[in-house]
Structure 1
């Protein structure tokens, strides 16, 4: 019995977001972007609760985008120089933002740094999105690569654990959890292989993505004492502990592990997770799928999760990291639709009403122009996707792009297997609004230079709390 049939039999309402036709009618226009707006340094994007505004992390701050007219998205405001007055300021390497209600969370830095930097998250009241008002700053002793935000809590991943912070009033740490809390054997695994990369929160559950260790479902009804309910996928601590430290780097880039992001549908019956991976010496000449993939899991019985289907990455002529990169990245599941990004491989919509047989409804890509970081539902009429500027294959144009929320086919889609690599073009310097009077002299881009001491790695990077991993090791992985 499929999930939709099960829910009907159980008398449960099935969340729906309109009806997508399975095929394109003869009169329907080709599937293509509705509009776009340039945003230098764009990474993660989220849609505000009223679906008229999107918030985009820009590495040196954040941008507020009016999407009320999807054919003409427009930047309302760009904030940079955040906390420039503090030691180590301004905030830098801001890759993640989250929004709920009238709150916006802006976290940094995504990765560890040897020099002093601001670490923590800002909260803004975005009742008036044209003029976000800073309401709080919560300082941490660790970088924040990703976060989740609910009305009462922020969930932060610091590489080795998830940290829960109350945000209903003044931000206050409530509790922490790490895999070793569920099984001390995880402490014997190299930090690269049990890396807390992302977190998703819904109700009294948090879904913590731990790279090769898999995805953990936590009961966070008592935030001071989170407990593991189950682990989905991944390899055992005993297996991972056998991997020598000098081999951890290549394993962290390779399938079959690399849990990157996870989220559940509205009733938490279906979990979607993706794996971010590239071809390496470990996958050459084997039957292991070298690129990452998206998996759908039935989690109605949390302690007995069942993998239902796998969506493989698009092929490319040169799938190695930094080339024609088509491994999956961030996504959103809303109702019976999955909106996903695949870097140079573009964006896709899948119908997951039958999660054993996800159906591709739309796929659009233009790797010469855009490489996509995320895809997020906006309304029944459209969704948004952010393009970042880190790829070598594309022209390096950061942007927020709007797409029709329907089935369709791209006219003359480029072949990722034989397209020539263009020469990247520089992005224009954006105009911005300093976040405080003391930050007016801060340049609009504060991303560390290529020879700086910043530490990063494919998909996650080294957070300071990861501990025993050397800076020299991580330099080998830098973009």
Structure 2
């Protein structure tokens, strides 16, 4: 039986919980046909969990795939009967990742709780960090390759899921070292950051976190480079539409650029990192003139004493098949829990609900990580270290 409890809540209630078989290091989550697919951060031996959530009050763990040695498989995407799972060097786990499996694993999930591997797409280097696969046939993959500084966009065609192949790529100018490009910044890598090295003034990690498509555009959180908007009408040759650098003094680690459905508006999050005191923002960016994106609003910062790593991470991205509500943003705030905002007026977002679970055993605070909201309004949220999967619903 779950012992999860809430430390504080307003207009949200806890419906259900799973500790993921005592491997509670949850990350990415998709819910399809009453089954939740959860990626694990890599702090345990677990890689991917599948839960039956047709009764959301009692999530039932059906299967747990192990992660490959030295690797974490913390991202999942499901479209129809195809499940994608990333493979990336596990820089944040307990063991020293001297060897790892880098790429993208493709599973057939015709039987929802019985994944069958049908392909593996190899990506030399650290591997795949995240991917967006919302509808066939294209997946927008944050991946590495020989000759490039850090990770960038690779577009894969999965019209035959057993034979994924690349159709196009885009990188930030200066990333293609093998092509003779020289960065205009002093690079710092995830390997250096994972080893506790702090960036010196002027040092940046310029790398794609992930891209979200809408029509013939892709909206990218490009870490210390900020926001990037791409034209993907020709997927073989993506091109830059615009770039908005928020400035090192007020930003960094730009994670998500979410296009709000039906509106010329992006919600852009910076990710709060461990042992980083700099304030991370959640911005509303007007893209009515997409070549001149401009910040029009900032999300209010929750008030209270929440514990370490207090700051934003990700939003409900409203993928096809999930809840679509262009007025409401669901946001994970690490130790600040789950926050919900009304953005009817983009210049003045207003918090309308929140929930902060009690710290799981062995943690000083909750660390809510990623989320998705199903069409019935249920909010599935993961804890990064040990809390597992939480299910919430709004009470008003």
Give the shorter-chain TM-score range: 0.7 to 0.9
In structure 1, which of residues 365, 370, 373 is the aligned counterpart of residue 369 of structure 2? 373
In structure 2, which of residues 256, 261, 266 is the aligned counterpart of residue 261 of structure 1? 256
Which residue of 2 is the match for residue 329 of structure 1?
A: 313
Using the TM superposition, give the Cα deviation of residue 345 of structure 1 relative to its aligned residue in structure 2, in angstroms.
0.7
Structure 1 Cα separation of the partners of residues 97 and 49 of structure 2? 28
Q: Bigger shift: 153-162 or 370-379?
A: 153-162
Which residue of 2 is the match for residue 220 of structure 1?
A: 232
1:346 and 1:153, CA in 2 relative to 1: closer, same or farther beyond 3 A?
same
Structure 1 Cα separation of the partners of residues 252 and 182 of structure 2? 15
In structure 2, which of residues 268, 276, 280 is the aligned counterpart of residue 273 of structure 1? 268
Equivalent positions of 1:312-327 (< 5 A) are 312-315=300-303, 317=305, 324-327=308-311
Using the TM superposition, give the Cα deviation of residue 182 of structure 1 relative to its aligned residue in structure 2, in angstroms.
11
* Bigger fraction of residues in helix: 1
1:351, 1:361 within 8 Å by CA — same for their partners in 2?
Answer: yes
1:91 and 1:265, CA in 2 relative to 1: closer, same or farther beyond 3 A?
farther
2:175, 2:183 within 8 Å by CA — same for their partners in 1?
Answer: no
Using the TM superposition, give the Cα deviation of residue 293 of structure 1 relative to its aligned residue in structure 2, in angstroms.
1.8
TM-score normalized with structure 1 length: 0.64
Name which one, 1 or 2, has greater alpha-carbon Rg.
Answer: 1
Which residue of 2 is the match for residue 340 of structure 1?
A: 331
In structure 1, which of residues 24, 35, 57 is the aligned counterpart of residue 16 of structure 2? 35
What is the SS of the residue equivalent to 1:34? strand
Using the TM superposition, give the Cα deviation of residue 206 of structure 1 relative to its aligned residue in structure 2, in angstroms.
1.8
Structure 2 Cα separation of the partners of residues 57 and 103 of structure 1? 15
In structure 1, which of residues 126, 138, 145 is the aligned counterpart of residue 109 of structure 2? 126
Structure 2 Cα separation of the partners of residues 54 and 198 of structure 1? 21
Using the TM superposition, give the Cα deviation of residue 279 of structure 1 relative to its aligned residue in structure 2, in angstroms.
9.8
Structure 2 Cα separation of the partners of residues 42 and 232 of structure 1? 33
Using the TM superposition, give the Cα deviation of residue 384 of structure 1 relative to its aligned residue in structure 2, in angstroms.
0.8
Establish whether residue 46 from structure 1 lines up as the match of residue 29 from structure 2.
Answer: yes
Q: Paired residues, what number?
A: 337
1:218, 1:228 within 8 Å by CA — same for their partners in 2?
Answer: yes
1:276, 1:291 within 8 Å by CA — same for their partners in 2?
Answer: no
Which residue of 1 is the match for residue 244 of structure 2?
A: 232
Structure 1 Cα separation of the partners of residues 252 and 166 of structure 2? 31
Which residue of 2 is the match for residue 56 of structure 1?
A: 38
* Bigger fraction of residues in strand: 2
1:111, 1:144 within 8 Å by CA — same for their partners in 2?
Answer: no
Structure 2 Cα separation of the partners of residues 152 and 57 of structure 1? 22
1:262, 1:274 within 8 Å by CA — same for their partners in 2?
Answer: yes
Alpha-carbon RMSD: 2.9
1:119, 1:144 within 8 Å by CA — same for their partners in 2?
Answer: yes
In structure 1, which of residues 148, 151, 165 is the aligned counterpart of residue 132 of structure 2? 148
1:48, 1:100 within 8 Å by CA — same for their partners in 2?
Answer: no
What is the SS of the residue equivalent to 2:183? helix
Which residue of 1 is the match for residue 168 of structure 2?
A: 175
Using the TM superposition, give the Cα deviation of residue 91 of structure 1 relative to its aligned residue in structure 2, in angstroms.
7.1
Q: Bigger shift: 294-303 or 105-114?
A: 105-114
1:162 and 1:74, CA in 2 relative to 1: closer, same or farther beyond 3 A?
same
Structure 1: state its 5+ residue gaps.
1-28, 82-88, 236-250, 284-289, 390-396, 408-479
Which residue of 2 is the match for residue 97 of structure 1?
A: 76
TM-score normalized with structure 2 length: 0.76
Ranked by relative contact order (alpha carbons within 8 Å, sequence separation 6 or more), the top structure is 1
Which residue of 2 is the match for residue 3 of structure 1?
A: none
Establish whether residue 402 from structure 1 lines up as the match of residue 391 from structure 2.
Answer: yes
Structure 2 Cα separation of the partners of residues 327 and 199 of structure 1? 21
1:45, 1:54 within 8 Å by CA — same for their partners in 2?
Answer: no
Using the TM superposition, give the Cα deviation of residue 191 of structure 1 relative to its aligned residue in structure 2, in angstroms.
2.9
1:104 and 1:214, CA in 2 relative to 1: closer, same or farther beyond 3 A?
same
What is the SS of the residue equivalent to 2:173? helix
Structure 1 Cα separation of the partners of residues 281 and 267 of structure 2? 11
1:361, 1:406 within 8 Å by CA — same for their partners in 2?
Answer: no
Structure 1 Cα separation of the partners of residues 97 and 32 of structure 2? 37
Establish whether residue 164 from structure 1 lines up as the match of residue 155 from structure 2.
Answer: yes
In structure 2, which of residues 289, 302, 305 is the aligned counterpart of residue 301 of structure 1? 289
1:90 and 1:257, CA in 2 relative to 1: closer, same or farther beyond 3 A?
closer
Using the TM superposition, give the Cα deviation of residue 56 of structure 1 relative to its aligned residue in structure 2, in angstroms.
0.4
Establish whether residue 70 from structure 1 lines up as the match of residue 44 from structure 2.
Answer: no
Using the TM superposition, give the Cα deviation of residue 276 of structure 1 relative to its aligned residue in structure 2, in angstroms.
2.1
1:299-336 deviations in Å (ceiling 9; x for gaps):
2331122322111443565x8xxx52211112114322
Structure 1 Cα separation of the partners of residues 384 and 275 of structure 2? 24
